[in-house]
Structure 1
Amino acid sequence: MASLDTERLRLVFEGRPDILTGIEKAADTPERVSLFNKIASFVQERLAGDSSQDGPAAKRRRVDVGNANGHANGTSSGGASSSGEAASTAAAAEPVLLEVKDISVSIPQRKKFDLCMTKNYLYARVSGASAPAQGIVYAWKDIEYAFYVPVPEKTQLQYNYILFPRNTSLTSLKAGATADVEPFVFTVPSTGPKPGTVGGPGANTAASVSDTYSSLFNWALTNQMRSVGNRTSIVASDAKVFHSMMRQSHRPNEKAVHVKAFRGSKDGYLFFLPAGILWGFKKPLLFIPLDRIAAVSYTSVLQRTFNMVVEVDLGDEQAEEVEFSMIDQEDYGVIDEKYVKRHALQDRSMADKRKAKRELAENAKDGKKKGEAGGEEGADGGAAGEPDDGLTELQRAEQALQDEEDEDEEDYDPGSDGDSDGSGTDSDEDDDDGGEGGEGEMDEDEDEDDDE
């Protein structure tokens, strides 16, 4: 008696355990087993066909899938889930052109996966499995931004690849907005792949054009995006364009192309790239394209640190400010000169400074008038009892403001602040997102637990 194709059935009817249970109970004869297998194969082919079409009929069928699950127009979480399931099914149905095994992924899941590339999709799957991992399926045509940067604070040089699907780079700044799929972050070493790591029909070509993981993925990702008409280029950090003034003790011969910063209570890294500003690698990731930066201003400029506020144009006459705090003062000049001014970004902090000085001057004048009215006038018209320190009221006010800022800096505890950008966090999120960028290094016990 033929057996049920349970793997295909689970893939097709993912999210509907009631249907799977019914099929398993009813498949009590060879004829019924064959019929159910044919149904599963037919549904999988139809789903794959729908995902590759862009016409009204395909859109209507996707809406119907959402409605069948009780979600109008497929706009709720159920609709997003149906869309993800359809992409997963379509990706699994396509032949794998290139496979790279044992790649460390940090977002959206922290685990080692095999990365598979088909004609239309990039996806991750657990070693030995045939289906994509849930939520890690990306259509080549939908990748809007791709970045390649060194992983900060790792003794051995490693690189992160960061892929943003369309309309996900600014999601965390939009109140109530959610994306169907999260950005994708995976890490590769600076060395070349070990024998047997790369497989599929494209393995020989890959070996002839690349000798390191980086050259392999730069070639493969670019080639696959171009094959479907996506002109997105991989943007890499470049120390000749921007680098921090801080010396890296763990890699002293290499200039850091990032600066440390907090976003709310989360510590992370800022990369000032030719295409915009990237912040990572804690969830939610954020990339601000240059054409979306309305203005930049510097606040809380103290002796050792300063904050940077970026005003982001979200479209539809909406704007949002995101603040990056506790940036080292040594990087103030390079950020301002090498990035803000070089890209002709509007600096509104000057207006803020002028306003603060005007208010200080006005307050100083008011204080002087009160002193003159309440005390005896001296030969120079000054107020009686004024401290004999040789400073004007304005200078005293500025000195008092500086002393207050220095005290605030000494008392500052980034862990006590909420997320200033308004993004929400879960208590266990930092455990899920893998901490610092591309924390692909995992001990053997953790890998075994994940695989299980």
Structure 2
Amino acid sequence: MAFIALNNAPVPIQTRAPPPHPKEIDVAFASNHELRKRVHAAIDQNPTQSTLFRDISTYILDQTSAAPADPTTKKRKLQDSSGLQNGAPATNRLTNSSSKAWRTYPGVSFSIPQRKKFTLELLDQQDGGIRAIGANGSVECAIACKDVDQVFCLPVPEKAKKQHNFVIIPVHGDGVAPVPDEWKASPPEPIVWTFEEATGKNVVEGEDPGPGLVAEAIHHCLIQAGTGKQVIFPDANEFASAVPENHRKGDKAYHVKAHRGSKEGYLYFTAVGIIYGFKKPLAYFDFAAINSISYTAVLRNTFNLVITTPTAEIEFGMLDQTDFAGINEYVQKHGLQDASLAADRRAKKLNVNKVGGNKEGAANGAQASGDGDADEESELQKAERELQDKEDDEEDDDDFDPGSEGESEGEGSDSEGEEAGGSYEEGDTAEMEDDDVDGDHMEH
């Protein structure tokens, strides 16, 4: 019986170790850890799919390492929307999604060039840059640090929660100056994404919930690339709106609502220039690109702002009259009313955008403007004078009484005298007639 029981004992099942995952998968999905884990789990559950996933990974690597064959492809690739130098492909390190990023921020909401959530990655060192990685692990848009003109961090108006838009202006991508011929095939576009400040349970103790850490990381990459640029924040010393922030009464507002044609947007007056966002077409007016600034359609509640560049006049309408004084102070401070200073600003453009150079250039411009226009009527004073004259004319029209036409000055005196309680004696009739004659001579 023991012998039979021994032979009938269940034979232990020998489990096989799962086959190793293809290396192509790890490389293709290196920038998306969660997606790579899902692929591995799918292979472990169904090993027959290993070949399929390996082929997909190989295809992804081939696509990211080679330039797209059709430049008009619907999905915006790096060469179509990133503003890389002279439209040429960027370094392999920036375009290759398998290259390791220095900083990674998943789930970031982009609005330009695509309205979609991507993983934001920052690559430092000299050939570094900024790029957006899609859900499939491919580079959707990117820009090399050396091709960055300016980077802004601007508060988003009319939001209950604090949000900031990071705006990257590429070289030749300001939306104002004409694009050089060699760039017209693939003109560079700005890159805009939104940072939402942490609140409640999302706040990490001892860590800034605002955009400061991301701005510092971008600044680090710009410095490593030798650009000398920095992230530009709004500054109350430059401009702060007189209109309070509607959704957060305690916060300063740095924007002015304005219309460009039928589209509504926001103007920001910063230390390096004026920027209009956040919808396409976004425009950035470098000080050197501004010939002059003037005001039109100045009314009781609104006015229009006209920015003149070497190639065009761009008008922004329906600005709140409350911000008139602050904007004009900014314009005078940077010498933007005098077109004769434009050439001088363009000559000093290299110093305008350097760290610390913008303030010096602004001071020089303001001093030059003050010396040249000290005795002239400012644009603001002229507009206010014209508005006052218009109001005086309207008041004169309101005071005019058609029923009094043809009455003499004497008759008016008679009426006034009666209202005052006085009366005329019969002996004063001749004197009244003399007054009537004198009044008629004055009217004629």
Is this a same-fold pair by TM over 0.5?
yes
CA spacing shift, 1:305–1:9, aligned 2, 3 Å: same
Question: Once the two structures are aligned, what percentage of the paired residues are identical?
Answer: 30
The CA RMSD over aligned residues, in Å, is 4.6
Amino acid at match of 1:182: E
2:168 paired residue number:
163
Normalised to the residue count of structure 1, the TM-score between the two structures is 0.54
The partner residue of 1:342 within 319, 333, 355 is 333
Output the CA distance in 1 between the equivalents of 2:304 and 2:249.
26
Aligned amino acid, residue 273 of structure 1: T
Residues 178-214 of structure 1 deviation map (CA, whole Å, 9 limit, x = unaligned): 754421111112327988x9xxxxxxxxx99953351
- 1:333 aligned residue (319, 325, 333): 325
In the TM superposition, 1:86-97 aligns within 5 A as: 90-97=95-102
Cα deviations by residue, 1:105-152 (Å, 9 ceiling, x for unpaired):
12122222221222323212235x3222x3x21212211100011111
Report the residue type matching 1:334 in the other structure.
G
**CA positional deviation for 1:339:** 0.7
Instruction: Go from structure 1 to structure 2 and tell me whether the alpha carbon gap of 1:309 and 1:84 turns closer, same or farther (over 3 Å shift).
Output: same
Check 1:93–1:252 CA distance in 2 against 1; reply closer, same or farther (3 A cut): same
Displacement of 1:253:
1.2
Contact 1:296 1:311 survives alignment (8 Å): yes
Q: How does 1:183-198 map to 2 (within 5 A)?
A: 183-191=190-198
- Structure 1 or 2, whichever has the larger Rg, is 2
Contact 1:244–1:259 under 8 Å retained in 2: yes
d(CA) in 1 for partners of 2:55 and 2:243? 67
For residue 256 of structure 2, what is the amino acid of its counterpart? V
Offset of 1:160 from its aligned partner? 1.1
Residues 35, 274 of structure 1: CA spacing in aligned structure 2 closer, same or farther, 3 A cutoff?
A: closer
Q: Does 1:236 align with 2:241?
A: no
1:190/1:214 contact within 8 Å kept:
yes
Shift of 1:347: 5.3
For 1:308 and 1:146, locate their aligned partners in 2 and report how far apart those are by CA, in whole Å: 24
Structural mapping, 1:217-296, within 5 Å: 217-296=214-293
Q: Does the Cα contact within 8 Å between 1:306 and 1:326 map onto a contact in 2?
A: yes
The aligned amino acid for 2:291 is: A
Q: Give the one of 115, 121, 125 matched to 2:133.
A: 125
Cα distance change of structure 1 residues 350 and 150 upon mapping to structure 2, 3 Å threshold? closer
CA distance in 2: counterparts of 1:89 and 1:182, whole angstroms: 17
1:225–1:231 contact (8 Å) kept in structure 2: yes
Does 1:105 find its partner at 2:110?
A: yes
Q: CA deviation at 1:175?
A: 11
CA distance in structure 1 between the aligned counterparts of 2:229 and 2:246, rounded to whole angstroms = 35
Query: Offset of 1:162 from its aligned partner?
Result: 0.6
CA contact (8 A) 2:197 2:211 kept: yes
Report if the CA contact (8 A) 2:79-2:186 is conserved.
no
TM-superposed CA distance for 1:239, in Å, is 2.2
Q: Secondary structure at the match of 1:296?
A: strand
Deviation, structure 1 residue 267: 0.4
1:280: Cα distance to partner? 0.5
Q: Equivalent residue of 1:92, what SS?
A: coil
Return the offset for 1:89.
7.2
Question: 1:35/1:302 Cα in 2 relative to 1: closer, same or farther (>3 Å)?
Answer: closer
Q: What's the CA shift for 1:163?
A: 0.6
Separation of aligned partners in 1, 2:247 and 2:70: 53
* Map of 2:424 onto structure 1: none
Which residue identity lines up with residue 172 of structure 2 in the other structure?
N
2:313 partner amino acid = E
How far apart, in 1, do the equivalents of 2:121 and 2:173 lie? 22
Report runs of 4+ in structure 1 exceeding 4 Å deviation: 1-10, 33-45, 68-71, 77-89, 171-179, 192-195, 207-210, 347-351
Q: Distance in 2 between matches of 1:126 and 1:193?
A: 29
Q: Distance in 1 between matches of 2:252 and 2:131?
A: 33
Task: Structure 1: state its 5+ residue gaps.
Answer: 11-32, 48-64, 72-76, 198-206, 314-318, 358-387, 392-452
In the superposition, relative to structure 1, how do residues 233 and 193 fare at CA in structure 2: closer, same or farther (>3 Å)? farther
What is the TM-score with the length of structure 2 in the denominator?
0.55
Q: Distance in 1 between matches of 2:54 and 2:164?
A: 48
State the match for 1:406 in structure 2: none
Q: Is the 8 A contact 1:114 1:124 kept in 2?
A: yes
